[in-house]
Amino acid sequence: MNIAITGASKGFGRAIAEKFAMDGRPHIFMLCARNKSNLEKTAEELRSGYPASDFRTYSCDLGIKQEAIAFGDWILTQQSQGKQSSAIDVLVNNAGIYLPGSVHNEEDGVLEKLIAVNLYSAYHLTRRLLPAMMERRQGHIFNMCSIASLNAYTNGGSYSISKFALAGFSKNLREELKPFGIKVTALFPGAAYTDSWKGSGIDPQRLMDEKDVADMVYSAARLSLRACVEEIILRPQLGDL
Q: Please give the mean pLDDT across all residues of the chain.
A: 93
Whether the predicted pLDDT of 154 surpasses 60: yes
185-218 burial, b for 16+ CB within 10 Å, e for fewer?
bbbbbbbbbbeebeeeeeeeeebbebbbbbebbb
Whether the predicted pLDDT of 52 surpasses 70: yes
**Orientation angle between helical segments 210-221 and 11-21, nearest 10 degrees:** 50
Structural domains of the chain, ranges and CATH numbers in brackets: 2-234 (3.40.50.720)
Q: Where are the alpha helices (DSSP H) in 2-109?
A: 11-21, 36-49, 65-81
Whether the predicted pLDDT of 200 surpasses 80: no
* 77-84 long-range Cβ contacts below 8 angstroms, 24+ apart: 78/28, 78/30, 79/2, 79/28, 82/2, 82/28, 82/54, 84/1, 84/2, 84/28
Confidence of residue 79 (pLDDT cuts 50, 70, 90): low
Give the predicted TM-score (pTM) of the model. Answer: 0.94
Mean pLDDT, range 41-49, rounded to an integer: 97
Whether the predicted pLDDT of 65 surpasses 90: yes
C-alpha 32/C-alpha 49 separation (Å) is 19
C-alpha 62/C-alpha 172 separation (Å) is 21
Whether 43 and 68 have beta carbons less than 8 Å apart is answered as no
pLDDT at 170: 98
pLDDT tens digit sequence for 188-199 = 999 887 876 776
pLDDT tens digit sequence for 159-176 = 999 999 999 999 999 999
Mean pLDDT, range 78-106, rounded to an integer: 81
